[in-house]
A and B are shown apart, each in its own frame.
Chain A
Amino acid sequence: MKRLKALAATTASVPITLFGLVLVTFLIGRVMPIDPVLAIVGDRAPADVVAAARLELGLDRPLYVQFWIYLGKLAVGDLGRSVMTSHTVWEDIKRFFPATMELATVAIIFAAGIGIPLGVLAAVKQGSRVDHVIRVVCLAGHSLPIFVLALLSLLVFYATLHWAPGPGRQDILFDDQVPSITNFLTVDALLARDWEVLRDAVAHLIQPAAVLAYFAMAFIARMTRAFMLDALAGEYVITARAKGLSAARVIWKHAFGNIAVRLITIMALTYAGLLEGAVVTETVFSWPGLGQYLTISLLNADMNAVLGATLVVGITYLAFNLLADMLYKLLDPRVS
């Protein structure tokens, strides 16, 4: 019961934060020095056309009325139309967002698969050479600009070694070969049982996902090390050792079992952070996801698309943070 109350308290603040998120996005759209009317009708339009467009966009109304209208449109998923793609922003997001999620999901699997064992190893061998090497690898992950790593990776694995296929999500040969059901290309290929497309999609996915994963891995390994050091110093670990349990059993069952919940929350937070890294990674790898959509819209001053994408990323980020919070409260028996 206490646990449910704690959960309710966490979720109660969400609507307010969400409202703030929408408000901030709305205000960013309204501080533009570019006149949205002129952007649509062009700067040579006659005065009455400009006035009509202004009326149609509701820009003659007070700001709070405009915000109310914006909220109403948002409630039915109307984010306006993208000038660049001439689709509605919502359609665009539905098309591009799965590509980003696919990238981020594979990246977090890589990151956790490598980062957690590294972190545990560093903690177990604290102060040794191994620990120092892992520390430097992680610090480099925090210091290297992701676009530099992405460019260098293209240079080495694509241009020099020919291990990885070039940028993009799939080879042009396979364009539209499988029906888009989920828009997750690997899943769609599986559903269509088209193994060639699947192999091509996986090959294209590995490189950008690995680049993206490095940064997440650095963070996960660092946190794992810190948690693990904490756990290893616990008295129950000393007791377990004194009982004569094997080192592996003490480390993985006793110490690691205790930090697993905290690691899950860290992974949810990292997953949210990957959305940000995806913007830059997608730009370098021409990955047709939300990040690339966002940057291309930015360069074309396509404000509806920019704000729509920003809002969707913000909401996803919020959702993952909430998830992290809830998992922690649900799974950790110590939280009351």
Chain B
Amino acid sequence: MSTTTSPQTWRDWLLTDTPASRAQAAWGGRYRLWRDFTANKLAMAGLAVIVAMALAALLAPLLAPYDPGVQDLTNRLARPSAAHWLGTDELGRDLYARILFGGRVTLGMVVAVVALVAPLGLAIGCIAGYYGGIADRLLMRVTDVFLAFPRLILALAFVAAIKPGITSAIFAIVLTAWPPYARLARAETLSLRGTDFIAAVRLTGAGSARIVLRHIIPLCLGSLVVRVTLDMSSIILTAASLGFLGMGAQPPSPEWGAMIATARRFILDQWWVPTIPGVAIFLISLAFNLLGDGLRDVLDPKQR
């Protein structure tokens, strides 16, 4: 095994055609994926925007020049200036600070949704696909029912039934977002279930739980990651739409969709007030779409 740390030999070690260990082969494979991925400029731009916006959201208390909730009624709907980089809203609150803090709400919602939806869809899909039979039919029927509603409409009805707010919005989006993941995981599981290596694992005495957890789920993760990344923009747009329709984050929360809803009456005169949060939503969602496209090219084996 190579012990030097100079970049040239590391590269050689990673790219060798005759890896000496499983670890070397695995890292070599990852390095090749990374190299393919970084060659896609649009995807890298998307990644850069996401990292920048995530950092800006995390560091919002340090970066924001004002408190996002502090009102200054003498300085309402101000144009962008040196004092207020993006202007102020109808209560004289600094828009730049509100955009930064709004990023926390949006990204927080997205992270929560993904953290709930990916394991849920994976579990349902793998169980349906691996066990088949009645479990499969039952779970897929339920999936079909939830797929039969347009996403936003079901989320709206659900939120209205509980109580408008960020938490209900997260659960509503989870409720509407899991079926495609379950379908994907089921399809992957079905194609893996009959393979020789699973049969070999079974012959060595592994139980169902071990096969699913250790051998099937890891192989589903690649396509799941692509799906999640491509789905991010749709989750962001649904969250923003819920906010815009008054069913998601509630004012005075600086959530971008809710900001546009309160500022929409100024569109004709102070057009930048509702437009700026719109640009923020557009940028982050475009960035996720670009990143997802790039990841699909690299990770989806069917495309290669």
Contact = CB atoms under 8 A, between A and B. Distances in A.
Contacts of A159: 267-268
A321 B241 contact: no
A75 interface: no
B148 A318 contact: yes
Interface stretch (A66-74, A170-178, A247-255, A298-306): A298-306
B144 interface: yes
B37 interface: no
A215 B44 CA distance: 25
Given A29-B161, A139-B286, A306-B160, A275 B150 contact: yes
Given A17-B141, A284-B264, A142 B289 contact: yes
Interface stretch (B4-12, B188-196, B197-205, B273-281): B273-281
B246 interface: yes
Looking at B153, B163, B281, B288, which has the most chain A CB atoms within 10 Å of its CB? B153
B148 A275 contact: no
Given A142-B233, A306-B157, A279 B152 contact: yes
Interface string B237-276: 1001100111100000000010010001001100100110
A95 B285 CA distance: 36
A53 to B, nearest CB: 20
B153 A294 contact: yes
Contacts of A117: none
B16 to A, nearest CB: 33
Interface string A127-155: 00000000000011011111110011011
Contacts of A230: none
Contacts of A145: 237, 240-241, 244, 257, 260, 278, 281-282, 285
Interface residues of B, number: 44
Contacts of B282: 140, 143-145, 148
A298 B148 contact: no
A74 to B, nearest CB: 16
Contacts of B145: 17, 20-21, 23-24
Contacts of B264: 147, 151, 284
A307 to B, nearest CB: 7
Given A24-B145, A280-B245, A306-B160, A143 B285 contact: yes
Contact of B245 (A32, A152, A283): A283
Contacts of B281: 145, 148
19 contacts: A17-B141, A20-B144, A20-B145, A21-B148, A21-B149, A31-B161, A143-B285, A145-B237, A145-B260, A151-B267, A152-B267, A154-B267, A280-B152, A295-B246, A298-B246, A303-B160, A303-B161, A310-B153, A310-B157
Nearest to A18: B148
A322 to B, nearest CB: 10
Contacts of A155: 267-268, 271
Interface SS majority for chain A: helix
Interface in A22-55: 23-25, 28-29, 31-33
A17 B143 CA distance: 9
Contacts, number: 144
Nearest to B153: A313
Interface of A: 13, 16-17, 20-21, 23-25, 28-29, 31-33, 139-140, 142-148, 151-152, 154-155, 159, 272-273, 275-276, 279-280, 283-284, 294-295, 298-299, 301, 303, 306-307, 310, 313-314, 317-318, 321
B186 to A, nearest CB: 16
A148 B151 contact: no
A321 B78 CA distance: 48
Given A20-B142, A28-B158, A279-B245, 9 more contacts: A20-B144, A20-B145, A21-B148, A139-B286, A140-B286, A144-B285, A146-B241, A148-B281, A295-B246
Contacts of B142: 20
A275 B148 CA distance: 12
A294 B162 contact: no
Interface SS majority for chain B: helix
Nearest to A139: B289
Contacts of A139: 286, 289-290, 293
B103 to A, nearest CB: 15
B150 A28 contact: no
A279 B237 CA distance: 14
Contacts of B153: 275-276, 279, 294, 310, 313-314
B90 to A, nearest CB: 15
A150 B290 CA distance: 23
B162 A31 contact: yes
Contacts of B116: none
B265 to A, nearest CB: 10
Nearest to A295: B245
Given A31-B161, A148-B278, A314 B148 contact: yes
Contacts of B271: 152, 155
